[in-house]
Amino acid sequence: NAGVTQTPKFRILKIGQSMTLQCTQDMNHNYMYWYRQDPGMGLKLIYYSVGAGITDKGEVPNGYNVSRSTTEDFPLRLELAAPSQTSVYFCASSYSGQGASNQPQHFGDGTRLSIL
Amino acid sequence: AQKVTQAQTEISVVEKEDVTLDCVYETRDTTYYLFWYKQPPSGELVFLIRRNSFDEQNEISGRYSWNFQKSTSSFNFTITASQVVDSAVYFCALSEANSGYSTLTFGKGTMLLVSP
């Protein structure tokens, strides 16, 4: 049972570099999400997707981009890394059938990103 | 806008003590869902429980119990006879029945430290 898989687990970037955080799920969930977790601040939603080809902004989308070309994959792109983007990033997915809004989200193990 | 408040930033107890983690929420929706997640030191997020707004029945699962009170907009979590393995950050989260998909609003989390 792979569930939600995120790569890499750790990464250090220099200011101005770009990178893509990978996320894939094998549960056939249409709904996928990206969060960032800063110390003492809980999780904040960056972007979400309700299906292939459909994405929308969450609470803190600035500095990030996403795409959703397949049901399984939902990569998060940082174009010009800034120190403020140092955080732990979590990808999640959830069931998309009837009653979807009451279904728990399943999280990956996170990507710890440091920008220096 | 929806909001989740976990006023307790950190709680320290000695093993076998009972401990209650508080969660207060705000929402304009009449239909919503509440969740608790556990984040152990290893960093992953583990789903614990879901509660629907129209079901105020309390729930017990082993040493864990949850008290949902709509009158006070609270969804508190009690651990009975705490153990060292309960040490973690616990997040309360709220989802509104919005377009059928589940976007979670998280509280900032309560760090529970259980010492032997």
| CA-based nearest residue in chain B for residue A29 | B101
Check whether A74 has a pLDDT greater than 90: yes
Overall average pLDDT of the B59-66 stretch: 88
How far the first Cα of chain B sits from its last, in Å, is 41
Q: Which of the residues A43, A46, A111 would you substitute to probe the B interface, choosing the one with the greatest number of B C-beta atoms within 10 Å?
A: A43
The 10s digit of each residue's pLDDT in A21-72 is 999 999 999 899 999 999 888 899 999 998 999 999 998 999 999 999 999 9
Contact B43 A50 (CB under 8 A): no
- Looking at the complex, report in whole angstroms how far the Cα of residue A81 sits from the nearest Cα belonging to chain B: 23
Q: Which of residues 34 through 63 in chain A touch B, CB cutoff 8 A?
A: 40-45, 48, 50, 58
Check whether B84 has a pLDDT greater than 60: yes
Res A83: pLDDT: 95
Res A1: pLDDT: 66
Res B16: pLDDT: 97
Closest CB to A109: pick one of B33, B43, B91: B43
Contact B35 A104 (CB under 8 A): yes
- Looking at the complex, report in whole angstroms how far the Cα of residue A42 sits from the nearest Cα belonging to chain B: 4
- Which pair of tokens denotes residue B38? 């556990």
Overall average pLDDT of the B76-82 stretch: 96
| Chain A CB contacts of B45 below 8 Å | 90, 92, 107
The 10s digit of each residue's pLDDT in B14-55 is 999 999 999 999 998 888 889 999 999 999 999 998 888 888
Res A52: pLDDT: 92
Check whether A99 has a pLDDT greater than 80: no
Helices within A2-112 (DSSP H only): none
Confidence of residue A98 (pLDDT cuts 50, 70, 90): low
User: Do residues B74 and B22 touch, judged by C-beta distance below 8 A?
Assistant: yes
Q: Which of the residues A57, A105, A106 would you substitute to probe the B interface, choosing the one with the greatest number of B C-beta atoms within 10 Å?
A: A105
Check whether A100 has a pLDDT greater than 80: no
Res A10: pLDDT: 96
Computed on alpha carbons and rounded to an integer, the radius of gyration of chain B in Å comes to 14
User: Do residues A67 and A76 touch, judged by C-beta distance below 8 A?
Assistant: no
